[in-house]
Amino acid sequence: MSRYRHKPFPYTTPPELSGGKPFEAPVVIVGAGPIGLSAAIDLAQHGVASVVLDENNVVTVGSRAICWAKRTLEIFDRLGVGERMREKGVTWQAGRLFHRDREVYHFDLMTEPGHRNPAFINLQQYYVEAYLIDRCADFAGLIDLRWNNRVTGVEQSRDSVRVRVETPDGGYDIEADYLLACDGARSTVRSSVGLDFAGEIFWDRFLIADVEMEADFPSERWFWFEPTFHSGQSALLHKQPDNIYRIDLQLGWDADPGEEKKPENVVPRIQAMFGDRDFKLEWVSLYTFQCRRLERFVHDHVIFLGDSAHLVSPFGARGGNGGIQDVDNLCWKLAAVIDGRAPAALLDSYDEERCHAADENILNSTRATRFMTPDDDAERLFRDAVLALAEDMPFARQLINSGRPSKPCSLAGMALQSDDDEGFDTPVVPGTACPDAVVAEGSRPGWLLDHLGGAFKLLSFGDDPARHDGLGTVCINDLPVDGCTTLRDVDGLVAERYGADPGAAYLIRPDQHVAARFRNPTPQAIGKALARASGKAMEQRS
Amino acid sequence: MTGQANDAQSVLGACRLGDNADDLYETLLGAHAGLDASASAALNARLVLILMNAVGDEATVRAAIRAARADRVPPAPDDDR
Ligand SMILES: Cc1cc2nc3c(=O)[nH]c(=O)nc-3n(C[C@H](O)[C@H](O)[C@H](O)COP(=O)(O)OP(=O)(O)OC[C@H]3O[C@@H](n4cnc5c(N)ncnc54)[C@H](O)[C@@H]3O)c2cc1C
C-alpha cells in the first residue's frame, strides 16, 4: 500500500520582496493547517482571494487528528475534497468498550440509511492537509500559498490589519481587510493581539503512538478502562489507512515525558498490548490536554478559527472537527461582508454561533476527560461504580464516558435563525444542519446535500414550489419544475426527514443549516427570514 | 419554583416506606456489614447510581441531590437548578 511521503513544498520569494506583481487579496490567512487551508478553499469558492502564510514547508509530521466526523465530511464534500478523503480513509461507526479484559459495551453510531457520509472516517491529518493543499491548486488566481513565511506581529488600524512576515529572504509587511488566525494552539496572532486564553488543564499525560503492523482488527474504536495490559487507567486503539494503528495510553501525571517517548520504553508497552506481533513505530508523542477558549473569536479585523480560538482534549474528536465547522460558519459571512452584500455586524453571528459550539465541545470533552482522569475521591468512587455496574446494567453503560463523538451543534434560537413554524413535527428546526438523503436528478442518483449550500437556497416541496427573487430553488417533486433544480425523493427520505408536505419550504443557509421553515410560505415571510439570516437585521457594531 | 419541582419536593419528604421502614433500614445497614470504609463507600456509590436510575425523573433526582447536599437544611424555595 502506498504510504505518505513527506516532501517539502517549495518556497518562493514573495512579490513584496522580489518586486514581482503583488497578489491582491482582501484576506490574509495565518496557518496552513487543516483549518487555514479549508478557509482558503471556502473563500475561493465564494470568489474571495486570500494569501495563506505558513511558517513551515511540510504537512504535519505526526498524524495528530485522525477521526473526521460526518459533518466535517459533508463540509469537505462542499469544498470538493470529500470523495478523496473517503476513498483513502478507514470508515468506522462502531466501537467497543472494555473494562479490564471484559467487553462491557459496544455501540453503533450510525443506524439510519440514506446518508452519503459515515459516522466517521479515520485519516491521518497529514493526508487531510495534503489533499486540501492539492485542492488549493485548483484556485490559482484566488489562493496564494506561501511556505516558510512566518508571521511575527499583527497590527490593526481602523479599517485594516497589517501583518509582519519573516521569510528566508527577509521580512515584509502585508496589509488586508481581514486576517484569519488559523495558527493553532500556540497562536502568534493571539499573543500579538494580547488575548487571554482561559481554561482548564488536565493533570494527566497520554502517550500517543502510531504503529505500522499487519493485523486484521476490525475498523472500530476500542477503548479500555483499567486494561490488564497497561498499568495506566485507559487505552485506546484506532485503525488508520496504510496498516497504521493509533494507540493512546494514559500514563498519569508523574510520567516523565522525555523518558516515556524513548522507543525502548514505548515498545514494551505496545508489546504488552499485542503480544509478539511484528510492528514498527511510526510516530510517538506525549500529550497533556487542555480545554480553553478565547472569550470572543472576532476582534474587529482579526478573526480566530480552529485551535487558535479553542482547544479541547481529543476524546470525542472535537478539535479539528470543531475547527472545520468554524470555517463552514465563517466563510460565507466574510465573503458577503467583503462583497458589500452584508453589514460587518453579520460577523458577530460567527462569534455567537461558534462560541456556543466551542462551549458545547469543551463541556463534552471536559466530562470525558474527567471520567478518565477522576479528580478526587468522590469522582473516582462514582467512576468505578459506573464501570462495576456497566456489564449487567444498561443504564450504567450510558454513563461510561470515553468521549462523546463530535456532532454538529444546534444553532437554534440564535440571531440569524427565525422562529420555528409550528406546523412541522420533525426535529429539523431552524439552526439544524440539514440532514442528507438519497435523491435523483432526472435519472442521475445523488445526494441532497450536494444541491444545498454555497449560497442561500429555498428547498421547496411539490409541483407548485415556493420561490423567491434572487434565490435558487431546489424543488422536491417527481416531475421536473421549470426554473428549479428538481430532485426526486426516490426513497421518500427527504419527505420523512424534513416532514414537509407539498407547498412547504425551507430556507437554507450557505453552510447547509436551516435558517427558517414555512408550512405555507409567503414572499413576505421568506423575505423577512432571508434578511434576518443575511445579517441585514443585525445592528451595526459600534 | 416550578410545579414539577414542587412535586419532587413533596415526594422526597413524604413517608413512602410504610410499615417496612425499619426492615428496609436494617437491610441497608446489613449490606454494609463486614465492609471497611472504602468498600462501604463503593457500595453506596453503586446504590446511589442504581436508585438514581430507578427514580429516573430529573426534577426529583436534582431535588434529592440538593436536599442531601444541604446537610438537612431544607432547600430554599427558589433554589431550583
Ligand atoms: C494527539 C492528537 C489527536 C487528535 N485527534 C483528533 C481527532 O481525531 N479529530 C479531530 O478532529 N481533532 C483531533 N485533534 C486536534 C487537531 O489536531 C487540531 O484541532 C487541528 O490540528 C487544528 O487545526 P488548526 O489548523 O487550527 O491548527 P494546526 O493544525 O496546529 O495548524 C496551525 C498551522 O499554523 C502554522 N503556524 C503556526 N504559527 C505560525 C506563524 N507564526 N506564522 C505562520 N504560520 C504559523 C503551523 O505551521 C501550522 O501549519 C488531535 C490532536 C492531537 C494532538
User: And the C-alpha cell for A451?
Assistant: 444541491
User: Is residue B75 included in any domain, yes or no?
Assistant: no
Residue of A nearest to B52 (CA): A395
Contact A434, A428 (CB under 8 A): yes
Q: Which amino acid type is present at position A58?
A: V
For chain A, say whether B45 makes contact (Cβ under 8 Å): yes
How many helices and strands, by DSSP H and E, does chain B display? 4, 0
pTM of the model: 0.94
pLDDT in the model for residue A540: 47
| Sequence-ordered strand ranges (E) for A31-127 | 50-53, 67-69, 90-92, 94-99, 102-108, 120-122
Low-confidence ranges of chain A (pLDDT < 50): 1, 540-542
Collapsing DSSP to helix, strand or coil, A511 comes out as coil
User: Is residue B39 included in any domain, yes or no?
Assistant: yes
Number of domains chain B contains: 1
- Domain ranges (residues) in chain A: 24-409, 438-541
User: Is residue B16 included in any domain, yes or no?
Assistant: yes
Architecture of domain A438-541: 3-Layer(aba) Sandwich (3.40)
Measure CA A152 to chain center: 27
Q: Residue B45 is nearest to which of A382, A393, A395, comparing CB atoms?
A: A382
Cβ neighbours of residue A410 under 8 Å, at least 6 residues apart?
A429, A431, A432
The verdict on a CB contact (< 8 Å) between A381 and B53 is no
Determine the Cα–Cα distance for residues A301 and A179; give it in Å rounded to an integer: 6
For chain A, say whether B69 makes contact (Cβ under 8 Å): no
Residue with C-alpha cell 495490559?
A229
User: Is residue B35 included in any domain, yes or no?
Assistant: yes
| DSSP, res A286 | E
Q: Which amino acid type is present at position A131?
A: Y
Angle of helix A70-78 versus helix A319-338 axis, rounded to 10? 30
| DSSP, res A104 | E
The verdict on a CB contact (< 8 Å) between A384 and B42 is yes
Determine the Cα–Cα distance for residues A256 and A265; give it in Å rounded to an integer: 11
User: And the C-alpha cell for A292?
Assistant: 480553553
Task: Please give the backbone phi and psi of residue B10, each rounded to the nearest 5 degrees, phi first.
Answer: -75, -35
User: And the C-alpha cell for A462?
Assistant: 411539490
For β-strands A27-30 and A178-181, DSSP reports them as parallel
Q: Is the pLDDT of residue B57 over 70?
A: yes
| DSSP, res A412 | T
For β-strands A220-225 and A94-99, DSSP reports them as parallel
Cβ neighbours of residue A407 under 8 Å, at least 6 residues apart?
A69, A71
Host H or E run for residue A198? strand A198-201
Collapsing DSSP to helix, strand or coil, A379 comes out as helix
Determine the Cα–Cα distance for residues A232 and A366; give it in Å rounded to an integer: 19
| DSSP, res A345 | T
User: Is residue B76 included in any domain, yes or no?
Assistant: no
For residue range A103-150, what is the model confidence (pLDDT) as tens digits?
A: 988 888 877 899 999 999 999 999 999 999 999 999 999 999 999 999
For β-strands A457-461 and A444-447, DSSP reports them as unpaired
Q: Residue A110: CA atoms inside 13 Å, Cβ hemisphere, count? A: 19
B42 CB burial (10 A radius; 0-12, 13-18, 19+): middle
Contact A427, A112 (CB under 8 A): no
Query: Shortest CA distance to A36 belongs to which of A124, A139, A143, A122?
Result: A143
Ligand 1 pocket residue status of A16, Cβ below 6 Å: no
Q: Residue A430: CA atoms inside 13 Å, Cβ hemisphere, count? A: 21
Residue with C-alpha cell 504537512?
A59
Name every residue in A having a CB less than 8 A away from some CB of B.
381-382, 384-386, 388-389, 393, 395-396, 399
Q: Which amino acid type is present at position A4?
A: Y
What's the whole-number mean pLDDT along residues B32-57?
A: 97
Measured CA distances, A20 to A13, A17, A142, A401 (Å): 9, 8, 17, 56
For chain A, say whether B24 makes contact (Cβ under 8 Å): no
The verdict on a CB contact (< 8 Å) between B49 and A396 is yes
Q: Is the pLDDT of residue B5 over 60?
A: no
Determine the Cα–Cα distance for residues A269 and A267; give it in Å rounded to an integer: 5
Model confidence at B80, pLDDT cuts 50, 70, 90, reads very low
| DSSP, res B58 | H
Determine the Cα–Cα distance for residues A436 and A448; give it in Å rounded to an integer: 6
Question: From the alpha carbon of A248, which atom of ligand 1 is closest?
Answer: 1
Cβ neighbours of residue A297 under 8 Å, at least 6 residues apart?
A303, A304, A305, A309, A326, A350, A351, A354, A355
For chain A, say whether B53 makes contact (Cβ under 8 Å): yes
Give the closest-approach CA distance of B66 to chain A in angstroms. Answer: 16
Contact A459, A512 (CB under 8 A): no
Question: Cα of A257 to ligand 1 centre, how many Å?
Answer: 20
Full residue range of the structural domain in which residue B55 is found: 3-70
User: Is residue B80 included in any domain, yes or no?
Assistant: no
Q: Is the pLDDT of residue B8 over 80?
A: no
Cβ neighbours of residue A136 under 8 Å, at least 6 residues apart?
A37, A40, A41, A44, A52, A143, A145
Question: From the alpha carbon of A321, which atom of ligand 1 is closest?
Answer: 11
Model ipTM value: 0.84
CATH number for A24-409 (one of 3.40.1410.10, 3.50.50.60, 3.40.190.290, 3.90.1200.10): it is 3.50.50.60
